[in-house]
Homo-oligomer: A and B are copies of this chain.
Amino acid sequence: MTEVLKSDDHDFRSRCSIARTLELVGDKWTLLIVRDLMWHDKHTFQALQNSAERVPSNILSERLKRLMNWGLVQRQTYQYRPVRYQYHLTDIGRALEPVLLQAMRWGHEHLEGGLFDPGGEQPDE
């Protein structure tokens, strides 16, 4: 079973597309979750939680709900008894890849010591 819930009535603070994008991904965690879903094959709550930067579980839970709500992520049940879920990016979520790549490029070029590799280090799964 696949759930996609998208509520289309969000109200924005301005008509600027950047401001609108930031209302959704303008925080320290959301794009890291997208990164892990897109490149690091982390698709379960557990795997996402064990990611390099150690997102708090309540934050992860809230962000995943928001991403589902906006249609960037869908959750699917991949196993019953016990029920287990996987999170996957939708086309809308995958369309953020150039944003991630540019953020990675900027960080790599202008912040010392950062990696330039979508694969990253993957310290633990």
Contacts and interface: CB of A to CB of B under 8 A. Distances in A.
Contact of A114 (B20, B54, B98): B20
Nearest to A99: B102
A26 B23 contact: no
Contact of A106 (B99, B110, B114): B99
A46 interface: no
Contacts of A1: none
Given A20-B114, A27-B26, A112-B8, A102 B104 contact: no
Interface residues of A, number: 49
A56 interface: no
A116 to B, nearest CB: 6
Given A15-B121, A114-B15, A102 B98 contact: yes
Interface of A: 8, 10, 12-24, 26-29, 31-32, 35, 52-54, 92, 95-96, 98-116, 120-121
Q: Which 8 A-B pairs have the closest CB atoms?
A: A17-B107, A17-B114, A21-B107, A26-B28, A17-B108, A99-B102, A14-B52, A98-B102
